[in-house]
Amino acid sequence: MSVSVNKLAPELVAAAEPTPSGHLPLSCMDRTAVVRILVDLMLVFKQGVQPAKAFRAALSRALVSYYPVAGRIVEPIPGEPEVACTGDGVWFVDASVDCSLKDVNNLERPLLLPKKELIPFAPPDVNEEDLIFMMQVTEFTCGGFAMDIRFNHTVFDGLGAAQFLKAVAEIARGHARPLVEPVWCREAIPRPPKLSQRHAPAPAVVYFESSVFDIPSDHIDAVKNQFCREAGQECSTFDVVTAMIWQCRTRAISLDSHADVYLSFTANARHLLRQLLPQEGFYGNCVYPMGIKATAGTIAGSSPVEVIELIRDAKERMSTKFLDWMMGDAEADPDKVPLEYGTLVVSDWSRVGFSDVNYGWGEPTHVAPLNDDHNFVASCIYLQPSKPKQGVRLLTRCVQKEHLPAFTEETMNFVHN
């Protein structure tokens, strides 16, 4: 079928009241190279009443409290970006489609609408790298809609971006202000005395294939029970899924058994800075990347319980490594994991909070990132599956085309066994 998307010209939405001006510092975590990206994210809702109008108004009110989001990223000193509180506003796009969500498979993957029609873009003369947040609301004939946002990872981590969306949602539902007041507080995060100045070579471009797998809760619970029986302790859903995907991928890519393989994941570090950061409201970057190194033969040939133990050991070391890094220990530098084909990076978005956003018409039927154009490191993102399914959805871009059949077979063996 032929589908026509009508996108109106982007418009700036500014704060509903006057807000402070000036420059705000970013933390050492905000300034790491890995977060200098725009994250594209889609939330799909079954129903709404004039959502674009409601969001535009709520966004304007939310920007009173979150006034830095209406500013721009500037870099007066090279390598030290900060936020200029200009009050310029965020770009907002109102769009509509002449079909129902069902006609495009509820925007499940593979997308039946081009990504460029769903995500917001600023006018051509605007440098999008300086922007902090953009939003597009696309309405469908069935009454459902998609909210697509682009947020600058330099200013938000996942928890922070979800906090901002929840604030907009609370105002859309009738609250005068966000229920959790935002806190900037970037200057409270210590800057390590010695930051790594290594200039690693640019990673080779690898064309990864995209796949989606739903891992049912009962399969995850079965492995949890096995781990409890054999190890005498409990493990998390993250532990099980991460061990499974690392093992399936390692077997599929068939590296030499003595070759090194790496796993990287980020851990929330807010609890480690509880004396410096407020208990709630902070929306900046506060995560620390952990890396695990093993041989391909070890990961491919171990039992699930043994791989889970490697992951749990790394998580237990996280507090010490993070604090060592804060004290300037170069060996705890989070940039240590090499960007090569033997490395897998996993990110757990299932509990960040995007699936809990409710603008008054119910929570999203599903949430999905749309950054499918990064081809330098193998990645897997954990999401909540589309309702009413229970478990974890894996959004993977982690193998080349020649390894996709083996990877799919290994993953499906886990799902069906």
H or E segment and range at residue 159: helix 158-172
Torsion of CA 265, 268, 272, 273, to 10 degrees: 130
Contact yes or no for 34/337 (Cβ under 8 A): no
Task: For the chain, list the domains and their CATH numbers.
Answer: 5-182 (3.30.559.10), 209-416 (3.30.559.10)
Which of the four pLDDT bands, split at 50, 70 and 90, describes residue 334?
A: low
pLDDT of residue 333: 64
Whole-model pTM: value is 0.91
What's the CA gap between 64 and 52, in Å, rounded? 19
pLDDT of residue 267: 87
Contact yes or no for 345/265 (Cβ under 8 A): yes
Cα angle at 212 between 107 and 136, to 5 degrees? 30
Instruction: Please name the residue that has the structure tokens 């929840």.
Output: 166
Flag the least confident range among 107-111, 133-137, 140-144, 190-194.
190-194
H-helix segments, 232-361: 237-253, 296-301, 304-326
Q: Is the pLDDT of residue 151 over 90?
A: yes
Which of the four pLDDT bands, split at 50, 70 and 90, describes residue 374?
A: low
DSSP state of 274: T
Contact yes or no for 39/369 (Cβ under 8 A): yes
DSSP E strand stretches across 153-238: 209-216
75-103 confidence digits (pLDDT tens) = 998 888 999 999 999 999 999 999 999 99
Q: Is the pLDDT of residue 40 over 80?
A: yes
Q: What is residue 266's three-state secondary structure?
A: strand
Nearest alpha carbon to residue 198 among 316, 82, 338, 299: 338
pLDDT of residue 3: 83
Tokens read off for 7 = 């996108």
